[in-house]
Amino acid sequence: MHNKWLPAAFLLTAAGWGANQFASLLAGYQSELGLSGQAATGLLALYVVGMLPGLVLGGPLADRYGRRPVVFCAIVISAAETAALIAGVLATPWLVVGRLLTGVSTGAVLAAGSAWVRDLSHPPFGSAVEDGAGARRGGVLLSVGFSVSGLVSALIAQWGPHPLVSAYLPHLVLCVVGLALALSCPETKPRHVSPGPLRSLRDPRFWRVVVPVALWVFVGPTVAFGVLPGLVTADLPGLGLVYAGVATLITPGFGAVVQPLARRVARRGERALAVVGLLALAVGLALAAIAAWWVRPGLALFGDLLLGIGYGFCVTFCLTVVGRIAPPSALARMTAVFWSIAYIGFCTPFAVSLLAGFVAAPVQLAALFGLALVTCVAVLTGDQADRDGQERRRADRAQRLRDAGVL
């Protein structure tokens, strides 16, 4: 019974694979279908538009009707998304449909699947006890699919037949296998608990520390595979797809590798996770700016490693805190709110592309470096304010008890 979480987490891997299999193929769509750079990065960001309804509906539906049916329906939609992307070779509008369906399916899986894995990791199901293992398991398996898909898609597209078709076939296989394995996973929705208002949103920790960090979760990965390859591969003719695939593997993949390490860092406090994540992200962005300015692909890959560390620590921090402040009846909805904020970072390549005519991309990356440092300071300040507020509330409560003669 203790491994029941694994098949459910594998569905997160399938969802992560479907979400990112398109990213490393941007150069292929530009060369094969003649899409402009802004059109390609626009399609990359378009899936955030589809993700919002997936998250907004997936979380409440999972809390009301159960995690299992929502995740299963979302994986079916994910397979349909891949079919639409394959059809995009024949008619470009299908790419728009596919990217929107990608967002819908991924959003629903993230909202319901993260809660499902967390519940299965902490029996009895619906227990309020949270040691962070469930959050990390979901984050790691999601990151595995997110990272490996980019490299596999790029390798198939580089050397396989019908590249913009065959690159998507592995995801269809994952969806079928994942659904078959997850049939054995039980439902974990807390019984006799009706979803109420999201009181957890009033928790100051969510607004002062989770939200600022969440905005940076996907900035690192999208800079790595959506911005840097186009800036540093001028001297690597014919290898742009493979380079983008390697970057896609390195950043989210390294993020998955370091997430177990984040557990040890968390023993010194949740704040340490956020600080390490944001500092690693800032240094990675600084190296990315230098690599883009001097056109150094090797240095860019080293920066990708640091961006991966930042991604891994930031996503683990946010999921752990959300799991601790949300009651079982609101966990899926709170998780959905977090992912809705986190995926704003997926628009980074599109924003860089739009601003490139006014501000050079390396300058934009340097500006992101500064903003990451500012966010780190803000999180430290907000965390200290929360600690001071908790101390004052405890002191006031103790004083009232003394005045009442209880103490």
pLDDT tens digits along 287-331: 999 999 999 999 999 999 999 999 999 988 998 888 788 877 777
Residue with the larger pLDDT of the pair 70 and 28: 70
What per-residue confidence (pLDDT) applies to 1? Answer: 43
Start-to-end C-alpha separation, the chain: 46
Question: Residue 178: CA atoms inside 13 Å, Cβ hemisphere, count?
Answer: 32
Is residue 127's pLDDT more than 50?
A: no
Q: What are phi and psi of 295, to 5 degrees?
A: 55, 65
Residue 186 has what DSSP assignment?
P
Domain residues of the chain, as ranges? 10-187+202-403
**Into which CATH architecture does domain 10-187+202-403 fall?**
Up-down Bundle (1.20)
129: confidence class by pLDDT, cuts 50, 70, 90: very low
204's tokens: 């100051």
Q: Using the Cα atoms of residue 63, residue 68, residue 73 and residue 76 in order, give the sign of their dihedral.
A: positive
What per-residue confidence (pLDDT) applies to 160? Answer: 85
CA distance 218 to 314: 9
pLDDT per residue over 15-60, tens digit each? Answer: 999 988 998 888 888 888 888 878 888 888 888 888 888 888 888 8
- Contact (CB, 8 A) for 284 and 168: no
What per-residue confidence (pLDDT) applies to 361? Answer: 95
Taking residues 108-130, report their average pLDDT: 71
Cβ contacts of 108 within 8 Å, gap of 6 or more? 54, 55, 57, 58, 61, 70, 71, 73, 74, 77
CA distance 95 to 82: 10
pTM of the model: 0.80
Is-cis flag, bond preceding 124, omega within 30?
Answer: yes
Element containing residue 325 per DSSP (H, E): helix 297-325
What per-residue confidence (pLDDT) applies to 228? Answer: 93
171: confidence class by pLDDT, cuts 50, 70, 90: very high
Q: Token match 């979760």: residue?
A: 217
Q: Token match 């909805």: residue?
A: 333
Residue 190 has what DSSP assignment?
P
Q: Token match 């029996």: residue?
A: 123
What per-residue confidence (pLDDT) applies to 327? Answer: 79
Element containing residue 208 per DSSP (H, E): none
pLDDT per residue over 92-109, tens digit each? Answer: 899 999 999 999 999 898
- Contact (CB, 8 A) for 255 and 217: no
Residue with the larger pLDDT of the pair 171 and 242: 171
CA distance 142 to 138: 6
Calculate the average pLDDT of the chain.
84
CA distance 368 to 365: 5
Residue 33 has what DSSP assignment?
S
Is-cis flag, bond preceding 212, omega within 30?
Answer: no
CA distance 363 to 276: 24
